[in-house]
A = this chain, B = another copy of it.
Amino acid sequence: MPQAGQKYVLVMVGLPARGKSYTARKLARYLRWLGYPTRVFNAGELRRHKLGTGYSAAFFDPGNADGQRALEAMARESFGQLTDWLLREGRIGIFDATNTTRERREWIRKLCDGRGLEPVFVEVINDDPAAIEENIRANKLGSPDYEGTPLAEAVRDFRRRIAHYERAYVQVDDPEGSYLKLIDRHRKIVSHRIDGWIPARIVGFLTNLRITERPVLLTRHGESSFNQEGRIGGDPPLSPGGRGFAAELGAYLSRRFGGEGAEVWTSTMRRTVETAAPLDLPVREWRSLDEIDAGICDGLTYEEIRRRHPQEHAARTRDKLRYRYPRGESYQDVIQRLDRVIIELERQNSPVLVISHQAVMRALYAYFADVAAERIPHVPVPLHTLIELTPRAYDCIEERIALTADAA
């Protein structure tokens, strides 16, 4: 069984254009957000960086000894960078390369064993020709390898490159140890000897990951009476300005969704429930979306906290991410309880509007926008502003919509 503090190497396995990099990046973002230092090391990027671009399929032919030597050297160098980083400061390294031969994987396993690292193979299998075609067109033709190559010629060449890998490909098998197989766009998942909290979180995440493009809308509640007084926490009602925002939000969403095809999630607190009241959409209340619990500082202004609890104020200023209010929560605590919300959001096929609170919204936003942990408590999330996020394969489109004149 893995030790507490165990460091993991997630070894991607699969033919080109199967979605390895997509999965690697999604996983890295999720694991970083949960608080585990995670980095993706991509052998192809290193190759392009070191050997330059413009190599055609012939370079990848298993019969081309020079090409094979060069590819092998790049994979080894990339993996060396991964282990260096992991042993120095990382918790989880993701090795994004094809790793399609058993020899390569044996070599990785031996290096891991010798360093106390735990390898988990993550094999992406997807043989639907339409999905492969889409992946090639969306992600491969823009690669520097094909700069200046006519489109049809580039597609042909990339297919030849895949064929070269296919000749040597051997799928991961039980004697190789811990693995996950993601088959047919995650519709089927095989897990073998998956043990430990982090691997279990990875399985839970991947099981629920959909590959649908649909927006997630985030907003804080409308202004509350506590916002007017500068007090934190509590369970105050909306101010007249806050009710104005709720009405504006309702009108905007009616125009946009016409009462259908979207859902609203709120916390259990009065100010978010009141913000959702004018909306013509189904509403679900989540306790996990409640504002950070300020413990003994609940109901105070920041000035009062500074005066009455100077040591707390100083400790919080020093490390806002890890600082936990006495009898309350830290930002890290909030992130842990939002895990379930993120997994539910990833499962959705249709748009969701989340109405929550400043700290909660910072944490949710950080997941989608891949904000570094230390910066999460400082993400600007003004009142009366709707943030629309559309996650895509490798990035996230963001739009901010100010809904009332007094948005600030």
What is the CB-to-nearest-CB distance from A116 to chain B, in angstroms, rounded to a whole number? 19
Partner of A200, one of B174, B190, B191, B343: B343
Encode A328-356 as 1/0 by CB contact (under 8 A) with B: 01000100110000011001010000000
- Give the residues in chain B near A197, CB-CB below 8 Å: 344, 347
Q: How big is the A interface, by class? A: 20 to 34
Bound CA span A207–B347, Å: 19
Tallying the copies of this chain within the complex gives: 2
Bound CA span A72–B174, Å: 37
Partner of A203, one of B4, B187, B207, B349: B207
Bound CA span A337–B338, Å: 11
Bound CA span A333–B333, Å: 16
**Is A307 positioned at the interface, with any CB of B under 8 Å from its CB?**
no
Bound CA span A197–B341, Å: 11
- Give the residues in chain B near A333, CB-CB below 8 Å: 287
Encode A168-201 as 1/0 by CB contact (under 8 A) with B: 0000001000000000000111111111110010
Chain A 192-219 interface residues, beta-carbon cutoff 8 Å to B: 192-197, 200, 203-204, 207-208
Bound CA span A207–B344, Å: 19
- Give the residues in chain B near A4, CB-CB below 8 Å: 284
Is A200 a contact of B204 with CB atoms below 8 Å?
A: yes
**Is A115 positioned at the interface, with any CB of B under 8 Å from its CB?**
no
Chain A 1-16 interface residues, beta-carbon cutoff 8 Å to B: 1, 4
Bound CA span A284–B3, Å: 13
A191-B188, A192-B188 as given contacts; A349 in contact with B1, CB under 8 Å: yes
What is the CB-to-nearest-CB distance from A330 to chain B, in angstroms, rounded to a whole number? 9
A187 and chain B: residue at smallest CB distance? B193
- Give the residues in chain B near A187, CB-CB below 8 Å: 192-193
Bound CA span A304–B67, Å: 80
**Is A256 positioned at the interface, with any CB of B under 8 Å from its CB?**
no
**Is A255 positioned at the interface, with any CB of B under 8 Å from its CB?**
no
**Is A327 positioned at the interface, with any CB of B under 8 Å from its CB?**
yes
What is the CB-to-nearest-CB distance from A280 to chain B, in angstroms, rounded to a whole number? 18
What is the CB-to-nearest-CB distance from A36 to chain B, in angstroms, rounded to a whole number? 16
Is A190 a contact of B193 with CB atoms below 8 Å?
A: no
What is the CB-to-nearest-CB distance from A353 to chain B, in angstroms, rounded to a whole number? 17
- Give the residues in chain B near A174, CB-CB below 8 Å: 188
Bound CA span A193–B188, Å: 6
- Give the residues in chain B near A45, CB-CB below 8 Å: none
A343 and chain B: residue at smallest CB distance? B200
**Is A235 positioned at the interface, with any CB of B under 8 Å from its CB?**
yes
- Further pairs besides A4-B284, A188-B192, A204-B204: 16, Cβ < 8 Å: A1-B347, A187-B193, A188-B190, A189-B192, A189-B194, A190-B190, A191-B207, A200-B204, A200-B208, A200-B343, A203-B203, A235-B327, A287-B329, A287-B333, A293-B293, A337-B337
In the assembled complex, 7 residue pairs joining A and B whose CB atoms fall closer than 8 Å, in A order, are A188-B193, A189-B190, A190-B190, A200-B204, A200-B343, A203-B207, A337-B337
